[in-house]
Amino acid sequence: MSSPTPYSTFIQQMPKLNNEYTDDVFLQDYLRTYFPADALKEITPDLTQFGQRTATVFIEWAREAELNKPQLIQFDAWGKRIDEIKVSQGWLNLEKVAAEDGLVAIGYERKYAEHSRLYQFVKLYLYTASSAIYTCPLAMTDGAARLIELYGDGFLKEHAYKGLTSRNPATFKTSGQWMTERTGGSDVSRSMTFATPDGDDYVLRGHKWFTSAITANMAFTLASTEQPENGKRAQLSLFYLPIRHADGSLNGIEVEALKDKLGTRALPTAQLLLTGAKVKLVGEKGKGVKTISTLFNITRIYNTISAVSYLRRAYALSKAYSPIREAFGQTIEQHPLHKKTLREMEMAYQSNALLGFFLSRLLGKEECNTATENEKSLLRFLTPVAKLFTAKQAIQYASEHIETFGGLGYLEDSGIPAMLRDAQVLSIWEGTTNVLSLDMLRAAEKENGLAAFKEFAAALLNNVSAPEFAFQKNVLQQKTKALFEFVGGISSTDALVAASRDVAFYVAELTIALLWLDFLKTNYGQSNYLSTLNYWLKYKMNESSFVSTAELGIK
């Protein structure tokens, strides 16, 4: 007779992801609804192979990159200043596939005309949660390519654009976007970097406080050409800055330090001294902020898609774990309360995906000149709204996802906490929630954004005539009316500013509900989608969320 084991030998199995494309039925339904059928047939093998790799080998590379943080080597053994950045092999692999799989190129090849952006962003949605946020350099690279399309001269088109949009890892180039200085992150007009003429070009001297990713080939950066008059805001201009000379040495740059961040640990973010970098002016002098907005409006859409990628991954991993983990005599997937948690995570990823993919479609239309004036204003208005809303949702559900794993999710070596640390940056970089709420106001006031939104809502609702949607249509008409009545009733600029964040969240939720209704016209048979819309109508877009400052005791 064998003696009883004196201690438990139980080992918890690790959950495995399935192919992240074929497993995502919602994504496939979405593409069937909004992507041309012939083209979808053509791209399906690519999405299928990519979905398989994002669920397997990319995750291993991302983990390796996360564990082997970039290192700055400032001097060689002989005392020469070199400022080399060493990155992990995983990071390099993720860069290589980004080029080969056309993660930026697809948007510029435009093989599927205006639909190319949706195809590209679907790949980025699959990629980001497995990329150790290599998506960050891709976002800036993409924004830089668009900037050059709109403002670049022959030199930039030849020497920068081709590399940024290449599929060949040997010729692929990435770009940074350097705006943040010690004096200002949100308020870039406090810049202390100065540009002095040097022949046809300029030389930059100053300091950049946060610059991702310093391993890029080039950057677009802001500087003043004149000292601002006392008390006046600097008139910034935009410059193209090649980071290294042909011999590999830095172009008038010293890397002072790599930042020690809460998350995005594989991403080399540097603090830089500009000691005389040779640069070229891009766009009109003194119009730098307006010109670089082309770039950051694209990175804000990347931010949105990245948030949605995390939301999907949080759900997929939590779901994969639920038939494995047992508690109280059954697997946790059988517990009603856990089922409800998973369902909430599912609704969150799908609802946010509707918003993110809608922006991708509008962007594709704008770039292929098929967007109406109204659609252009709508894109401008919804970009900050989507960015701020999805970022907060990603943080919330990255946290929920840790909880679905219990104590295991809190262990660093499980790899699970990384998502929460990474997601936290989504509501900070590319504009904080408050700065983006103000940007929504800017778009509403200067670029017809609110009127465009009103027209979009009205047109979408007018296009819904089926009696089975009469209830949903009616609620949405009321919710839209409530928004415009609230905004119309605000009488002072201060009150409008104070209300802007609540309004932005309401607009995001309302847009999502409208998009669900549009999606349901083709997907009515799927009862889960309808219950998501009904849930959204009942529990979101709450007018009582418009909280005044007086109610909070703020004078």
- Tell me whether residue 290 or residue 340 sits nearer to ligand MFK (CB atom): 290
- Tell me whether residue 217 or residue 293 sits nearer to ligand MFK (CB atom): 293
Beta-bridge partners for 205: 194, 275
Q: Give the phi and the psi of residue 370 in degrees, each rounded to 5.
A: -115, 0
- Tell me whether residue 186 or residue 526 sits nearer to ligand MFK (CB atom): 186
**In sequence order, what DSSP letters do the residues of 39-85 get, joined into one string?**
HHHHHHHHHHHHHHHHTTHHHHHHHHHHHS--EEEEE-TTS-EEEEE
**In sequence order, what DSSP letters do the residues of 503-529 get, joined into one string?**
HHHHHHHHHHHHHHHHHHTT-TT-HHH
- In one-letter notation, the amino acid at residue 321 is Y
- Tell me whether residue 132 or residue 316 sits nearer to ligand MFK (CB atom): 132
Shortest distance in whole angstroms from residue 87 CB to ligand MFK = 17
- Tell me whether residue 16 or residue 233 sits nearer to ligand MFK (CB atom): 233
Tokens for 37, please give them. Answer: 């059928």
Shortest distance in whole angstroms from residue 234 CB to ligand MFK = 9
Shortest distance in whole angstroms from residue 429 CB to ligand MFK = 4
Asked if 137 and 93 touch (Cβ cutoff 8 Å), the reply is: no
Shortest distance in whole angstroms from residue 133 CB to ligand MFK = 6
Shortest distance in whole angstroms from residue 486 CB to ligand MFK = 24
Shortest distance in whole angstroms from residue 485 CB to ligand MFK = 27
Contacts of 341 (CB under 8 A, 6+ apart): 318, 400, 404
What is d(CA 106, CA 124) in angstroms, rounded to the nearest whole number? 11
- Tell me whether residue 15 or residue 184 sits nearer to ligand MFK (CB atom): 184
Asked if 315 and 265 touch (Cβ cutoff 8 Å), the reply is: no
Shortest distance in whole angstroms from residue 109 CB to ligand MFK = 21
How are beta strands 218-224 and 81-86 bridged, if at all?
unpaired
Contacts of 383 (CB under 8 A, 6+ apart): 297, 300, 301, 304, 359, 443
Contacts of 240 (CB under 8 A, 6+ apart): 156, 160, 218, 219, 220, 279, 280, 282
- Tell me whether residue 186 or residue 534 sits nearer to ligand MFK (CB atom): 186
- Tell me whether residue 129 or residue 520 sits nearer to ligand MFK (CB atom): 129
CA dihedral 351, 453, 461, 545 (to 10 degrees): 60
Tokens for 383, please give them. Answer: 């970009």
Shortest distance in whole angstroms from residue 266 CB to ligand MFK = 13
Shortest distance in whole angstroms from residue 474 CB to ligand MFK = 34
What is d(CA 426, CA 306) in angstroms, rounded to the nearest whole number? 8
Shortest distance in whole angstroms from residue 268 CB to ligand MFK = 12
Shortest distance in whole angstroms from residue 451 CB to ligand MFK = 17
- Tell me whether residue 293 or residue 427 sits nearer to ligand MFK (CB atom): 293
At residue 103's C-alpha, the angle toward residues 516 and 111, to 5°, is 80
Asked if 504 and 436 touch (Cβ cutoff 8 Å), the reply is: yes
- Tell me whether residue 414 or residue 432 sits nearer to ligand MFK (CB atom): 432
- Tell me whether residue 300 or residue 479 sits nearer to ligand MFK (CB atom): 300
Asked if 197 and 281 touch (Cβ cutoff 8 Å), the reply is: no
Asked if 359 and 390 touch (Cβ cutoff 8 Å), the reply is: no
How are beta strands 253-258 and 236-242 bridged, if at all?
unpaired
- Tell me whether residue 26 or residue 125 sits nearer to ligand MFK (CB atom): 125
Residues that bind ligand MFK (CB under 6 A): 135-136, 139-140, 177, 179-180, 186, 188-189, 212, 289-290, 293, 296-297, 299, 302-303, 306, 429-431, 435, 439, 442, 446
> Closest Cα partner for 420 from 434, 436, 403?
403
- Tell me whether residue 105 or residue 301 sits nearer to ligand MFK (CB atom): 301
Asked if 382 and 511 touch (Cβ cutoff 8 Å), the reply is: yes
How are beta strands 175-178 and 218-224 bridged, if at all?
parallel
Shortest distance in whole angstroms from residue 173 CB to ligand MFK = 16
Tokens for 530, please give them. Answer: 């309808």
Shortest distance in whole angstroms from residue 172 CB to ligand MFK = 18
Helix or strand (DSSP H, E) at 303: helix 288-321
